[in-house]
A = this chain, B = another copy of it.
Amino acid sequence: MANTTLSSGTTYHSRVLIRCSSSERGGQQRSNAAVRVNGAAHRATLQVGAALETSINETLAELSAPLLAPATDGRERSRQNIPTEKQAEDPFRQAQIVEGGVRYQQTVVVRSYEVGPDRTATLETILNLLQETALNHVWMSGLLGDGFGATHGMIKSNLIWVVSRMHVQVDHYPLWGDVLEIDTWVGSSGKNGMRRDWLIRGRGSGNIYVRATSTWVMMNKNTRRLSKMPEEVRGEISPWFIDRHAIHEEATEKIIKLDSNAKHVDSDLKTIPDQFLQHHQLSSIILEYRKECGSSDVVQSICQPDEDSVSPSENVSMVRGPSLLPEVINGHHSLAGALQQWPTKYTHLLQLKAGDVHEEIVRGRTTWKKKL
């Protein structure tokens, strides 16, 4: 998708996860707001979501430069085949509402162009499917106001959804050709937030590939301030809430703020070495969104490895060599890269590069494991 030059006076959507109206508020004007989410007042954690790529470098790059789409173009064509009434089944999407109406389930097949070099679905593909099923769930609930998940009540109050936190845990990357069953549901999150969880399973095996949870809050699309959840909106969405968690998070780990003393500070957003990426895959990513950014903002990616996070098992295999497969030895893979001991946990920060104060856009925390 081409990057779009934004003209002022138009509302724009981000293409992934949440909606954004960055140019509607006149370019650079930004506001912070405090609102009670998850029971605690905290600073605005706004963000425009975007496709997350396989590597965290690209993940953060994409988050900083979302691809925006005009939403209120006067000549917008009407969408087709989108249910406006609550319905239980969508045969073309192979989707259904199950469990008394609270859970959405869709079957998808991993396609040839959705996989990476190792023929497994990329993280971008996984996140795309999370977005797709979330939106389809809202459609089938008959709540759809604008195509981006806002309900009728939200549209009346000029409110849009923004995601404040996202945690994706990949147990196994699905293969090209795998038939997946994706389940998603929502629940309450504090007084003004909503939780959305997902489970991606193999249709035949039932094996869990991916678990994900996210926290959503409402923002006024004109003032760009977070908003309390209006009673009307609570009335619309709370009948769908269930208390079930795809990821059992104990205490939510706080992500520390990095500064320019971090080990990797790069403005070209390449902070994880290629050699590491060849032999490792991301197993968990947590993102905390703190500020919106727009398509022309200049951003910087900062990364700090947990130097003590080299896994013991990896140390043993590296030193003693019992896991060195013949393929590794005979040159199919870089021996040096495989032997090197890499940290498996990283902290990330994406920040604006404008002016003296580099404002935070998103903090991240990633965990990696060696490829099988």
Does A243 lie at the interface of the complex (its beta carbon under 8 Å from any beta carbon of B)? no
| Residues A124 and B1 in contact, CB atoms below 8 Å apart | yes
| Residues B76 and A119 in contact, CB atoms below 8 Å apart | yes
A297 to B: closest C-beta gap in Å? 17
Does A320 lie at the interface of the complex (its beta carbon under 8 Å from any beta carbon of B)? no
108-142 of chain A: CB within 8 A of chain B: 109, 111-113, 115-119, 122, 124, 128, 131-132, 135
| Residues A175 and B331 in contact, CB atoms below 8 Å apart | no
For A58, list chain B residues within 8 Å (CB). 2
Does A79 lie at the interface of the complex (its beta carbon under 8 Å from any beta carbon of B)? yes
| Residues A119 and B69 in contact, CB atoms below 8 Å apart | yes
Majority SS at the chain A contact face: loop
| Residues A331 and B7 in contact, CB atoms below 8 Å apart | yes
A38 to B: closest C-beta gap in Å? 27
Does A54 lie at the interface of the complex (its beta carbon under 8 Å from any beta carbon of B)? yes
Does A251 lie at the interface of the complex (its beta carbon under 8 Å from any beta carbon of B)? no
Does A244 lie at the interface of the complex (its beta carbon under 8 Å from any beta carbon of B)? no
**From B53, B122, B177, B330, contact of A80 by CB (8 A):** B177
A295 to B: closest C-beta gap in Å? 10
Give complex CA distance A110, B323 in Å.
44
**Among listed A8-16, A214-222, A286-294, A340-348, interface-contacting one:** A8-16
| Residues A73 and B332 in contact, CB atoms below 8 Å apart | yes
**From B2, B79, B117, B179, contact of A92 by CB (8 A):** B179
A275 to B: closest C-beta gap in Å? 8
| Residues A332 and B10 in contact, CB atoms below 8 Å apart | yes
Does A277 lie at the interface of the complex (its beta carbon under 8 Å from any beta carbon of B)? yes
| Residues A113 and B92 in contact, CB atoms below 8 Å apart | no
Q: Which residues of A contact B (CB under 8 A)?
A: 1-2, 4-5, 7-10, 12, 15-16, 51, 53-55, 58, 67-70, 73-77, 79-82, 92-94, 107, 109, 111-113, 115-119, 122, 124, 128, 131-132, 135, 147, 175-179, 203-204, 274-275, 277-278, 325-327, 330-334, 372
Give me 20 A-to-B residue pairs in the complex whose CB atoms sit less than 8 angstroms apart, sorted by A's number.
A1-B116, A2-B53, A2-B55, A5-B274, A5-B275, A8-B331, A9-B332, A10-B332, A15-B115, A68-B117, A73-B332, A74-B327, A74-B332, A75-B327, A80-B177, A81-B177, A81-B178, A92-B94, A94-B94, A111-B128
